[in-house]
Amino acid sequence: MTAHRVAVTGIGVVTPLGIGIDAFWEGVLSERVAVAPITRFDTAGYRTRIAAQIDAFEPRAFLTAKRLNWTDRFSQFSIAAARLALEDAGYNASAASGDVGVYLGSALGGLAFADEQHDVFRERGLDAVKPLLAISVFGGAATCNVAIEFGLRGPTVANGNSCASGAVAIGDAFRAITRGDVRAALAGGVEAPLSPLVFGAFTVIRAMSERNDAPQAASRPFDRGRDGFVMAEGAGVLLLERLADARARGARVYGEIAGYGLTNDAYHMSAPRPDGAMNADAMRRALDEAHAAPADVDLVNAHGSGTPLGDRCETVALETLFGERAASVPVTATKGQHGHALGATGAWEAALSLLALVHQTVPRSVNTDDADPACNLALTRTRLERRLRTVLSNSAGFGGINAALVFRRLDDDG
Nearest 5°: phi and psi at 357?
-65, -45
CA distances from 169 to 56, 252, 322, 394, 404 (A): 26, 22, 26, 14, 11
Q: How many residues does the chain have?
A: 414
Number of C-beta neighbours around residue 122 at 10 A: 8
* Cβ 265 vs Cβ 275: under 8 Å: no
Tell me which of 4, 144, 303, 313 is the catalytic residue: 303
DSSP string, 178-198: HHTS-SEEEEEEEE---SHHH
Local confidence band at 185 (pLDDT 50, 70, 90 cut-offs): very high
Q: What is the mean pLDDT of residues 329-337?
A: 98
pLDDT at 93: 85
Q: What percent of the chain has pLDDT over 90?
A: 95
Where is average pLDDT lowest: 47-56, 90-99, 127-136, 180-189?
A: 90-99
In this structure, which amino acid lies at residue 383?
R
Q: Predicted confidence band at 52 (pLDDT cuts at 50, 70, 90)? A: very high
- pLDDT over 80 (residue 247): yes
Instruction: Return d(Cα 317, Cα 309) in angstroms, integer.
Output: 12
pTM (global) more than 0.95: yes
Between CA 356 and CA 256 the distance in angstroms is 13
Does the structure show a pLDDT above 60 at 343?
yes
Q: How confident is the model at residue 79, as a pLDDT?
A: 98
Question: Would residue 340 show up in a list of annotated catalytic residues for this protein?
Answer: yes
pLDDT at 413 over 60: no
Out of 144, 163, 313, 375, the active site residue is: 163
Single out the residue of 90, 266, 234, 236 nearest to residue 173, CA to CA.
236
Confidence of residue 411 (pLDDT cuts 50, 70, 90): confident
pLDDT at residue 308 tops 80: yes
Q: Is the pLDDT of residue 38 over 70?
A: yes
pLDDT tens by residue, 363-401: 999 999 999 999 999 999 999 999 999 999 999 999 999
Domain architecture of the chain: domains with CATH = 6-248 (3.40.47.10), 259-408 (3.40.47.10)
Which of 4, 144, 313, 340 is catalytic? The answer is 340
Q: Is the pLDDT of residue 96 over 80?
A: no
Q: For residue 134, give Cα distances in angstroms to 120, 128, 137, 198.
A: 14, 13, 6, 18
Q: How far apart are CA 373 and CA 290, in angstroms?
A: 32
The kind and range of the H/E element at 56 are none
- The whole-number pLDDT of residue 414 equals 56
Query: Measured between alpha carbons, how far is 375 from 276 in angstroms, rounded to an integer?
Result: 13
3-class secondary structure, 43:
coil
Calculate mean pLDDT across residues 205-220: 98
- pLDDT per position as a tens digit, 255-302: 999 999 999 999 999 999 999 999 999 999 999 999 999 999 999 999
| 277-289 vs 308-322: helix crossing angle, rounded to 10 | 50
Instruction: Respond yes or no: is residue 163 known to be catalytic.
Output: yes
The 10s digit of each residue's pLDDT in 110-160 is 999 999 999 999 999 999 999 999 999 998 999 999 999 999 999 999 999
d(CA 286, CA 393): 10
pLDDT of residue 99: 95
Please say if 4 is a catalytic residue: no
Evaluate if residue 66 carries a pLDDT over 60: yes
Signed CA dihedral, 60, 64, 67, 69: sign only: positive
Query: Rounded to an integer, what distance in angstroms lies between the CA atom of residue 305 and that of residue 359?
Result: 25
**pLDDT surpasses 60 at 90:** yes
CA distance 166 to 158: 10
Task: Round to whole Å and give the CA distance between 163 and 117.
Answer: 25
- Helix residue ranges, H only, 180-293: 196-204, 243-248, 277-289
Question: Residue 198 is which amino acid?
Answer: V
pLDDT at 199: 97
Q: How far is residue 338 from each of residues 15, 85, 170, measured CA to CA in Å?
A: 7, 20, 20
**Residue 68 scores a pLDDT above 50:** yes
pLDDT for 242 beyond 90: yes
